[in-house]
Amino acid sequence: MKSIHKIALSAALGTSLFTTAITVQAQPSNPPSAQSKSPAVHISDSQLKRFAHASEKVSQISHDAIKQLRATKDASKQQGIRKKANNEMIQAVKNNGLSVHEYNLISKTVRSHPNLQKKLHKMLNS
């Protein structure tokens, strides 16, 4: 079970293959300004807990999809696997009460704040 928590933490910190796909879909069409590098964002314990649950599910979906991708060489099947996994991850995020934008914002914020990383790690291991 601890390996699932480690995978979830990795996914939460942006190392998951498919987390990137969710991030790409949710990006605004106009480029961010130079001043919007790292906005001050307050993340409540409730939001972080929902993020932790979502990231565990996203991580599991990603892990399963990677296994499937490795098992096939067919490009169209791989594309279908990616699309299905991406849709499942988006749904997992929404099922935990977050929008894709909120999930990505929390993920970005956690990556740049060690204290939030520690808090998330504790949530995932409790």
Nearest to 62 by CA among 29, 26, 23: 23
| Range name among 25-34, 82-91, 116-125 with the lowest pLDDT average | 25-34
Predicted TM-score (pTM) of the model is 0.70
Q: Helix, strand, coil: what percent of the chain each, to 5?
A: 75, 0, 25
For residue range 64-101, what is the model confidence (pLDDT) as tens digits?
A: 999 999 999 999 999 999 999 999 999 999 999 999 99
